[in-house]
Amino acid sequence: MALSAKAPAQPDGATGVLVLADGSVIWGRGFGASGDAVGEVCFNTAMTGYQEVMTDPSYAAQIVTFTFPHIGNVGANPEDIESNVEGALGCVVREDVTAPSNFRSAQGFTEWMAANGKIGISGVDTRALTRRIRLSGAPNAVIAHDPKGKFDLKSLQARAQEWAGLEGMDLAQRVTREALEDWAGADWALGEGYRTLGTGGSGDRPHVVAIDYGAKDNIFRNLVAAGAKVTVVPAKTSLDDVLALKPDGVFLSNGPGDPAATGEYAVPVIKGLLDKDIPLFGICLGHQMLALAAGAKTTKMHQGHRGANHPVQRVGAGWGDTTGLVEITSMNHGFAVDGDTLPDGVEQTHVSLFDGSNCGIAIKGKRAFGVQYHPEASPGPQDSFYLFEKFVGMLG
C-alpha cells in the first residue's frame, strides 16, 4: 500500500515521525535517541511508572503510546529500572517532556531515553492514535527521530510493511539471562535503595528456580519478600538442569513475543515439571505457557491489555470467602489464554472485567497456577501480593 493520500505534510519543527504499515504518517517532535526502529504500536493507560514500562522486557519490539499526557515529568533514576536488557523500542506522548520535578530524579527523561537508545515523539494526538488501535488493532510501524527532520517516508513504510509482526515470534531468547544467577535482591527502602537478602539469611528459605523468559526484577524481589530464596536460569534451561538445582518450586516469568513460539522449547520443560509434581507459578507469558502445557491454546488479542488499572475478578472455587473479589491489576500482554479451550483438568480462576478474557488458571490435582497480570507491579497497591505468598506457602 502506498503512503496515505491524506498523509499530512511535514510541519515546521517536526523532528520525529511514526509511519504505519498502511501508509499513515504521524508527525511530532523527536526526543531521546536518534535513528529509527520497527515494531508494534500499543497503548498503555498507566498514569505513573513510565520508566518501569520502558524497561520491561515484555515490551520488546513494541512502541508504547502513553494515554496519560504528561510523561517524563518526574525524570528518571537507576532504582526504577525493571531490567537491563531490551525493553520498549520507544514511546509516543502528548506533551513535550519538561524538566524533572521529583526528589528521586537523577536524570531527565529525555537524556535517559537517549542514553538507553530509545526513541520518543511528543506533540502527538495520543487520544486519536489510541482510538485507532482500539478500532483497528495494534499496527506495525517505524518510529524515527532525526534532529534535522530528514526522513525517507517511503523507505520507513517499506520497513513497517516488511516486518513480520509479533505473531509467531519468539522474543524470549533476546531478553533472557545468559547464565544462572543467584538472586540476592530484596525490598526497597527510602534512602537505602534495594537491600540484599544476603547468604546468611537464605539457608532456611524454600528454593525457587525462576525461568527467565524476559523477567522483571521486581518479581524476584517479591518472591524474596514472600519468604523464598531465588535462583534465576535462562529461558532454554533443560528439564534435567532445572531439576539438578533441587527446586522446591519453579517460577515461570513474564516475557515478550508469542507464547506458542516460545513454547516450542519451554512447554516440554513445563510438562516435565508437572509430571514431577513440582509446584509452579506463572505470570503473563509464564501463565500462557503453563496453559499450553496443560492443553489449552493461546490467541493474539485485537489491542491487548496494558495499564495499571485493569479490574480482575476471582472466580475459581478455591478462594473461600474472597471468591468474587475484584483486584485492581497491572497488565501488559498482547496474547491471551483462550478460556474456551481450557481442558477439564484446568480451572479458570480469574477473569478480566473489561472483556471477560482469561486472567488466571489452576491445574487440578497439581500445585500449579498462573495469572495473566503483574502482581509485582504493586497495583492496588497490594491487591495481588497474596499470589506470591500462596506460591511460597506451597513449598514446605
Q: Which residues contact 333 (CB under 8 A, 6 or more apart)?
A: 58, 284, 285, 288, 301, 304, 305, 306, 372
Report the distance separating Cα 28 and Cα 12, nearest Å: 10
> Would you say how long the chain is, in residues?
396
Catalytic-labelled residue, pool 284, 305, 327, 350: 284
For residue 317, what are the CA distances in angstroms to 205, 320, 348, 364?
29, 7, 9, 11
Our answer to whether residue 374 is catalytic in this structure is yes
Helix-then-strand count for the chain, H and E = 10, 19
Residue 222's H or E segment, with its range, is helix 217-225
State the cell numbers at 331: 497488565
Catalytic-labelled residue, pool 310, 333, 350, 374: 374
**DSSP for residue 283:** E
Q: Which residues contact 343 (CB under 8 A, 6 or more apart)?
A: 294, 295, 296
Q: Judging by DSSP bridges, how do beta strands 62-66 and 90-92 pair with one another?
A: parallel
Catalytic-labelled residue, pool 40, 52, 82, 376: 376
SS3 call for 7: coil
Our answer to whether residue 284 is catalytic in this structure is yes
Our answer to whether residue 264 is catalytic in this structure is no
Write phi, then psi, for 279 (nearest 5 degrees). -60, 135
Report the distance separating Cα 141 and Cα 153, nearest Å: 11
Q: DSSP per residue over 136-205, as a string?
A: H-PPEEEEEE-TT----HHHHHHHHHH---STT-B-HHHHS-SS-EEE-EEEEETTTEEEE--GGGSTTS
**Residues identified as active-site:** 284, 374, 376
